[in-house]
Homo-oligomer: A and B are copies of this chain.
Amino acid sequence: MPVPRTVEWVPDVPGRLAPGHVRMIDQTRLPAELAFIDTADVRAIWAAIRSLQVRGAPAIGIAAAMGVAAAAQAAADDDPAAVVAAANRAAEYLAGARPTAVNLFWALDRMKSLAARSRGLSAPALKETLAREAMAVRDEDAAMCRRIGELGAALLRDGDTVLTHCNAGGLATAEFGTALAPIYVAAGQGKKIRVFADETRPLLQGARLTSWELMQAGIDVTLICDGAAAQVMKEGRVNAVLVGADRIAANGDAANKIGTYGVALLAGAHGIPFYVLAPTSTMDPRTPDGSGIVIEERGAEEVTCGFGRRTAPEGVRVYAPAFDVTPHALIAAIVCEKGVLRPDYGRAIAEVTRKSAAPAACR
């Protein structure tokens, strides 16, 4: 595992999962300090998601699922209906923490659906079942990321240099990450892979998180300002761009951290393949194209005084979209746990997101 577990479920007593609590790396304190948040309080989990202490679409989904399991524990042990109600309330509440990441809604729906299906159980058994489901969300994510890494590694040659934006690494998921998974897997296969990490303003996930976790894993990483990506590409130093996604529409349009769309255009202008790596849970077949994806706007202070001192005039107007949408035409492949999807993405995404889709659907 490249980095410590980003989000995990910690049972409070041996031999059973519930009661338990969530342990998350506080990513706002990296790279200065590796600190953890231990909590069973759904409000603290909401706040951790909101404030990006836990971030990355898959990690948000895991934290939210665990938040539902933690909230359900507060209900009395003789009232199964109260457990279900507490789980549903928590799910409704947590859904408001971040608007763009579809994994959040996917994970919450999964927990609500399980609660609804488990009404016949005793309250303690229900709590145990919800905790197990939340752990399953995590474990499945880890397995998916590993599979994305294996499939993505096949796209990289020994000696390649990859450029990535934001952090779609181990810190954004259970382990391994999505965009960084191929790098970890390829390195494990003995390939020499170098990485340019965009620092990714305003919150510097590339500087704070991607470079940190790659250095932890012994990967050769060079940090650049976002504005230097075009220059690095022009110098012929980038063989592929790997990024994650927060939501992928039915036609392959992919929402990811602000700046990704620009990187995709720059890659296109330099003939560099641009790959999106994300689990199928990131795909939203109900959203026909990128125009239907809600783009969260962040507060001005992340831009004007995010580094410990004010770097812009008091009162300056700021526009701070958190995400942008890369049109599918700029994407060379979408790598999910079920395969490497190539255009026509509409057909490929429909196949992999169909219930019990066969892996054969993907190339």
Q: Given known contacts A307-B309, A309-B307, A312-B199, is B225 in contact with A259 (CB within 8 Å)?
A: yes
Interface residues of A in 253-291 (CB under 8 A from B): 257-262, 265-266, 268-269
**A196 proximal to B (CB < 8 A):** yes
CA distance in complex: A307, B70 (Å): 38
Residue of B nearest to A318 (CB): B223
When all copies of this chain in the complex are counted, the total is: 2
Using Cβ atoms and an 8 Å threshold, which residues of chain B touch A113?
none
Q: Given known contacts A31-B313, A310-B32, is B201 in contact with A261 (CB within 8 Å)?
A: no
Instruction: Name the segment of A9-17, A48-56, A227-235 touching the other chain.
Output: A227-235
* CB atoms of A225 and B262 under 8 A apart: no
Interface residues of A in 294-344 (CB under 8 A from B): 303-304, 306-321, 324
Using Cβ atoms and an 8 Å threshold, which residues of chain B touch A260?
227
**A200 proximal to B (CB < 8 A):** yes
CA distance in complex: A31, B259 (Å): 26
Using Cβ atoms and an 8 Å threshold, which residues of chain B touch A266?
262, 265-266
**A207 proximal to B (CB < 8 A):** yes
* CB atoms of A313 and B211 under 8 A apart: yes
Residue of B nearest to A30 (CB): B313
* CB atoms of B319 and A196 under 8 A apart: yes
Using Cβ atoms and an 8 Å threshold, which residues of chain B touch A306?
307
**A350 proximal to B (CB < 8 A):** no
CA distance in complex: A183, B225 (Å): 28
Using Cβ atoms and an 8 Å threshold, which residues of chain B touch A232?
319
* CB atoms of A208 and B269 under 8 A apart: no
**A346 proximal to B (CB < 8 A):** no
Please give the distance in Å from A265's CB to the nearest CB on chain B: 5
Residue interface mask A61-83, B partner, CB < 8 A = 1: 00000000000000000000000
Please give the distance in Å from A270's CB to the nearest CB on chain B: 9
* CB atoms of A262 and B317 under 8 A apart: no
Chain A facing B: main interface SS = mixed
* CB atoms of B265 and A230 under 8 A apart: yes
CA distance in complex: A204, B208 (Å): 18
**A212 proximal to B (CB < 8 A):** yes
**A226 proximal to B (CB < 8 A):** yes
* CB atoms of A227 and B259 under 8 A apart: yes
**A222 proximal to B (CB < 8 A):** yes
* CB atoms of B307 and A311 under 8 A apart: yes
Q: Given known contacts A312-B31, A316-B221, is B204 in contact with A324 (CB within 8 Å)?
A: no
* CB atoms of B304 and A227 under 8 A apart: no
Please give the distance in Å from A360's CB to the nearest CB on chain B: 36
**A361 proximal to B (CB < 8 A):** no
Using Cβ atoms and an 8 Å threshold, which residues of chain B touch A259?
225-228, 230
A-B contact pairs, 28 of them (CB 8 A): A32-B310, A165-B227, A199-B303, A199-B312, A201-B201, A207-B311, A207-B316, A208-B311, A208-B312, A222-B318, A223-B304, A223-B312, A223-B317, A225-B226, A226-B226, A226-B259, A227-B259, A228-B320, A228-B321, A231-B321, A232-B319, A234-B261, A262-B262, A265-B265, A265-B266, A265-B269, A266-B266, A306-B307
Can you add 12 more A-B contacts, CB < 8 Å, to A32-B309, A262-B266?
A31-B314, A201-B201, A207-B312, A211-B316, A212-B313, A222-B317, A225-B303, A226-B226, A230-B262, A234-B261, A306-B307, A307-B309
